[in-house]
């Protein structure tokens, strides 16, 4: 019964981890950005490099600690010590699993703005937009985040 409880807890917490990561695609905006004035900066891509957005380590660590602590506390001789050790080990393992379980492919865009300033933005790889070096782009900047889209003038 305790094993079934632990498996259910693991499943529930990692499902939460998978759903918790924000969307950083250039065509996505948060609910806070809707209806807000955003600044648009123009420039060209100097360099692009594919990277990986790491998943949520904190939620994975919390899930692992809860499960490890629960499983470790089953020790009849030293339930408290075993629970603490189980929680520590579970937290470390959970953090690694959380980081991997919802990784996202991303691109780092180094952009020279028309004013001469050079910036770098990481965003998720988009199915809608593709980027290449030398391409004219617009950087849409708000209080919450920035995103890059192709600019066709």
Q: Report the number of secondary-structure helices (H) and strands (E) in the chain.
A: 3, 5
Nearest-angstrom CA–CA distance, 98 and 131 = 29
- Delimit the domains of the chain by residue range: 2-150
| Model confidence pLDDT, tens digit, residues 4-19 | 555 555 554 545 544 4
Q: Are strands 104-113 and 39-53 parallel, antiparallel or unpaired?
A: antiparallel
Mean pLDDT across 121-139: 94
Nearest-angstrom CA–CA distance, 87 and 36 = 44
Q: How high is the pLDDT of residue 10? A: 53
Mean pLDDT across 24-28: 69
Q: How high is the pLDDT of residue 17? A: 43
Q: Please tell me which of 20-34, 79-93, 123-137 the model is most confident about, judged by mean pLDDT.
A: 123-137
Query: With 70 as the cut, is the pLDDT of residue 45 above it?
Result: yes
Nearest-angstrom CA–CA distance, 121 and 114 = 16
What's phi and psi for 137, nearest 5 deg?
-135, 160
DSSP track, 56-77? -HHHHHHHHHHHHHHHHTT-SS
Nearest-angstrom CA–CA distance, 151 and 148 = 9
pTM of this structure: 0.57
Query: Residue 53, exposed/middle/buried by CB under 10 A (0-12, 13-18, 19+)?
Result: middle
């Amino acid at each position: 019964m305790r094993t079934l409880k632990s498996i259910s807890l693991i499943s529930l917490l990692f499902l939460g981890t998978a759903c918790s990561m924000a969307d950083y695609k250039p065509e996505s905006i948060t609910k806070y950005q809707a209806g807000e004035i955003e600044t648009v900066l123009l420039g060209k891509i100097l360099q692009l490099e594919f990277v990986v957005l790491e998943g949520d380590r904190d939620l994975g660590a919390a899930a692992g600690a809860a499960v490890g602590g629960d499983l470790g506390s089953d020790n009849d001789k030293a339930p408290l010590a075993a629970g603490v050790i189980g929680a520590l080990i579970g937290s470390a393992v959970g953090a690694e699993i959380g980081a991997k379980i919802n990784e996202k492919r991303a691109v780092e865009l180094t952009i020279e703005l028309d004013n001469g300033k050079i910036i770098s933005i990481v965003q998720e790889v988009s199915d809608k937009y593709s980027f290449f070096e030398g391409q004219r782009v617009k950087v849409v900047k708000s209080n919450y985040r920035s995103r890059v889209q192709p600019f066709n003038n």
